[in-house]
Amino acid sequence: MDTYDYVIVGGGTAGCILANRLSADGRSTVALLEAGEPGRGLWVGIPAGFTKLLTHPRWNWGFRSEPEPGTCDRPIAIPRGKGLGGSTLINGMIYVRGQPGDYDAWAQAGARGWSHADVAPYFEKLEQTTVGGAGRGRSGPMHITEVAERFPISEAFLQAAGQDGWPRNPDYNGASQEGVGYYQVCQHRGRRWSVADGYLRPALRRRNLDVRTQVHVTSLVLEQGRCTGVRLRRADGSTSQLRARHSVVLTAGAVQSPQLLELSGIGSPQVLAAAGIPVAHALAGVGENYIDHYATRMNWRVRGARTLNESTRGLSLAAAVARYAVQRRGILTLGTGLAFGFVKTDPAMPTPDVQYFFMHASYADAAVRKLDRLPGMTLGVAQLRPRSRGSIHVASADPHAAPAIRPNLLTHPQDQRCLIDGMRIARRIVEQPAMARYVQAELNPGPQVQTDAQWLEFARRTGQTIYHPIGTCRMGEDEHAVVDSRLRVRGLQGLRVADASVMPAMVSGNTQAAVMMIAEKAADLLLQDARSA
């Protein structure tokens, strides 16, 4: 049986970072286990390729939520990246740190050592960017750049936002998040820059790092209150075990980390009994506190401007491909967001509570993203800090069966109010003079939607998550927390969780930056504990 100092379960965003940092001394032996493939493919490096990867079973686990009345009994797509690099292989690349108050609230809620002052150095450590001023990283592994392409219609949107009272903000990851501008993305020289690019590939030649792909961890090995290793199944059906001298670290994400704990008998006795799994360690909070960003997409028919709807067809697409091949420029460098907005639905609020995603493109189904044929534009609207809470739990003892995901979206009245007000402001911005020459008609929800009840019905009927699940192995010091402030699973030795599942509450924006920060800090915590052991 192979034995390592650290066994990392999940080769995604956090796992690649931990594999690099824990093996950097050349002495600590590290195994990184990933159920997917190495993460190489034609579309992986092309930013616009996310539309191909997002629905492909080779790259996406393809989870879906359980139908719930609050979202009109629709199963909602919950994509999770599959392969080395995880969701940084298939996401929209948008990089948002969040607001300082997000992390201060974590610390105040019991996550000691995770205030903004504590975590800011880790953001700086991971970044390599020319954007912004003091406090931004200049030499880290992750290339962060502003979206390079500019279009008259995106400039008109920013001007319209200014006419509505929202300032231009050159760096929403700097001193203040409020305002509008162009998104920052994880790209380098026109190509997607995943954590596999930034962290894992530079470490692959280390003899003390063993990276294994197409191995599915089916359960954890527990012996007398300690996690001593993992059981895994290879693609050919054979099984084996790996042992960990120091720690097993779960980095399988907010869907699969709680699933693996429950498959191993760690969780609520009632949930485990229903799935036919014996209780090894009772821990009621596993799988609870599920939070995700829920977004609506407002669409307009456009005139007087060329949009992606026409530019990605026929000869226009051929020309775009040629330009990208030669220059690494053009529409193939675009992801899910071109221009951003962070706004307050109430002027009395200290910080923004709504995020906008502007794209000069339109589509009927956000989960599929098949572009309309006629010119269009979309403004995605998302509440930054939702209060609705759901759950993720195993439905059976089969490690290959998907868990039951119940997001419980739009159940909190404040979430409903925020999203309604955010959509009203979005419509008001688009009605400003700067946009008048481009807007032919509002398609969704349409001008007939005016009352709160109509706005809410539109949100329930058409909204999707924006793929930011967090919180299902919540960090804290109370009895319902799953991990403590050092990311140790409560009541067990040798087991940690270090991914989006440990977040106590949602951060104000896209979550990949926060996950990278968590992994960087987790590596320091593990190395500190190893030195003091």
pLDDT in tens, 330-356: 999 999 999 999 999 999 999 999 999
Instruction: Name the average pLDDT for the chain.
Output: 96
Residue 369 pLDDT > 70, yes or no?
Answer: no
Which of 200, 141, 209, 392 minimizes the C-alpha distance to 289?
392
For position 23, what pLDDT does the model report?
A: 98
d(CA 129, CA 140): 8
Q: What percent of the chain has pLDDT over 90?
A: 91
Q: Which residues, in sequence order, are bridge partners of residue 232?
A: 217, 240
Q: How far is CA 126 from CA 117, 134, 140, 508, in A?
A: 16, 15, 4, 19
For position 316, what pLDDT does the model report?
A: 84
Domain range list for the chain: 2-532
Q: Decide: 204 and 40 in contact? Cβ < 8 Å.
A: no
Residue 155 pLDDT > 90, yes or no?
Answer: yes
Q: Which residues, in sequence order, are bridge partners of residue 229?
A: 221, 243
Sign of the CA dihedral running 525, 529, 531, 532: positive
- Express each pLDDT in 455-504 by its tens digit: 999 999 999 999 999 999 999 999 999 999 999 999 999 999 999 999 99
Residue 364 pLDDT > 70, yes or no?
Answer: no
Average pLDDT of the residues in 90-119: 97
For position 363, what pLDDT does the model report?
A: 79
Residue 165's pLDDT band (cuts 50, 70, 90)? very high
Which of 129, 119, 118, 136 minimizes the C-alpha distance to 173?
136
Residue 259 pLDDT > 80, yes or no?
Answer: yes
For position 162, what pLDDT does the model report?
A: 98
- Express each pLDDT in 260-316 by its tens digit: 999 999 999 999 999 999 999 999 999 999 999 999 999 999 999 999 988 888 888
Residue 224 pLDDT > 70, yes or no?
Answer: yes
For position 42, what pLDDT does the model report?
A: 84
User: 3-state DSSP call for residue 17?
Assistant: helix
Average pLDDT of the residues in 91-116: 97
- Express each pLDDT in 176-213 by its tens digit: 999 999 999 999 999 999 999 999 999 999 999 999 99
For position 341, what pLDDT does the model report?
A: 98
Buried b (16+ CB within 10 A) or exposed e, 323-334: ebeeebebbbbb
In terms of Cβ atoms closer than 10 Å to its own Cβ (0-12, 13-18, 19+), residue 69 is exposed
Residue 102 pLDDT > 90, yes or no?
Answer: yes
For position 41, what pLDDT does the model report?
A: 85
Beta strands 184-185; 179-182: pairing state:
unpaired
The verdict on whether omega for the bond into residue 167 sits within 30 degrees of 0, i.e. cis, is: no
Which of 438, 302, 418, 400 minimizes the C-alpha distance to 353?
418
Q: What percent of the chain has pLDDT over 70?
A: 99
- The CATH number of the domain covering residues in 2-532: 3.50.50.60
DSSP string, 346-405: STTSSS--EEEEEES--BS-TTT-PBPSS-EEEEEEEESS----BEEE-SSS-TTSPPEE
Largest CA distance in the chain: 70
Q: Which amino acid makes up residue 518? A: I
- Express each pLDDT in 321-333 by its tens digit: 889 899 999 999 9
Which of 68, 71, 82 minimizes the C-alpha distance to 15?
82
Residue 371's pLDDT band (cuts 50, 70, 90)? confident
Q: State both tokens at 257.
A: 């980390």
For position 320, what pLDDT does the model report?
A: 84
Q: Which amino acid makes up residue 503? A: M
Coarse DSSP helix, strand, coil percentages of the chain, rounded to the nearest 5 percent: 30, 25, 45
Which of 116, 246, 360, 468 is an active site residue?
468
Identify the helix (H) or strand (E) that includes residue 153: helix 152-163
Residue 368 pLDDT > 80, yes or no?
Answer: no
Q: Which amino acid makes up residue 501? A: S
Q: Decide: 480 and 474 in contact? Cβ < 8 Å.
A: yes
Residue 367's pLDDT band (cuts 50, 70, 90)? low
Catalytic, 293? Answer: no
